[in-house]
Structures are given as structure tokens and as C-alpha cells.
Amino acid sequence: MTKPTVIETRKVTKTYNVNAAPVTALVDISFAAEENSFVSLVGPSGCGKSTLLQILSGLIPSSSGEVLVDGMPVRKPMPDKIAVVFQDATLLPWKTVIQNIEFPLEVQKVPPRERRECARAMLSLAACASACRSRAASRRIRASS
């Protein structure tokens, strides 16, 4: 029995314009991932792995082609369907620690009061409540044991 396809790309291409010169990161990428399958993207640095993940999650558009998640075209982030965890910390240095924690909830249009309550609860779990007004770039936060 065939499992349903949950992620599918059809001839996805991504070209960036760098200093008015086109740089092609992906060309005609097509694949289908079935439900409960394990998929790995493997390749050398700069081959387009991160670009593909950003397109799959709706963070950036493809130049051409189509991406489907559960049969729905991906044209913007779909946090209830697909998400990306970046390999490097992705803090916004101009925001406070608590604002960085709230940011994904803000993107999902969670009301401000609910965002703040959730962020404070997360900080409390990590024993970092005293850091909530600090800027992300100004200090390293260590949870107390």
C-alpha cells in the first residue's frame, strides 16, 4: 500500500540576483516524501540545501516550480504544517530576549498578552527570567542548575 505524499516539489528552481548577475542555487528539483518517511538533504557547502529548506517552509519563494505540503501549495510560512530549525542560533540582536522568544508567536498572530505569558513561562522553565529585558546580543544566558 502506498503512503500519502506529504511534501512534494515539482521542478523547483531558485535564482538570486547578486550585484545584477544571476546566481542559480537550485535547478529543477523534484521529489516526493511519503508520510512517516525519513528524508536527508546531503551535499557540500553552498549546494542549495538551506535554500531548499527555506523554500519548503515558505520562508522564501522559488523562482519557478511548485512546492506542496499535504497537497497545498506553499506560498508563505505554514507553521502548523512545516518548520525549520536552523543550525545556527537565529536571534535578532535588536530585540530583547523575551521579544526573540515571542517572535514566532507574533508571526502566527498570537495576541500580545498571550505571547508575553508564554514567553515568560518558557524563560521560567529555563531559569532565565531575570534576562527577559536584556538584548540578545548583550549577554550569554546560562540556566542555573
Digitized pLDDT (tens) for each residue of the chain, 145 residues in all: 788 999 999 999 999 988 888 999 999 999 999 998 888 889 998 899 989 999 999 989 999 999 999 999 999 888 888 877 776 667 777 888 888 889 888 888 899 999 999 988 888 877 665 655 566 555 444 444 3
Domain limits for position 54:
5-73
Spatial contact of 64 and 13, defined as CB atoms under 8 Å apart: yes
Instruction: Cell numbers for 76, please give them.
Output: 508563505
- Domain endpoint, select from 73, 101, 128: 73
CATH number at residue 27: 3.40.50.300
| Model pTM score | 0.64
How many CA atoms does the CB half-sphere of 77 hold within 13 Å?
A: 11
Same domain, 9 and 50: yes
Same domain, 50 and 105: no
> Is 83 within the bounds of a domain?
no
Strand duo 5-18 + 21-34: pairing: antiparallel
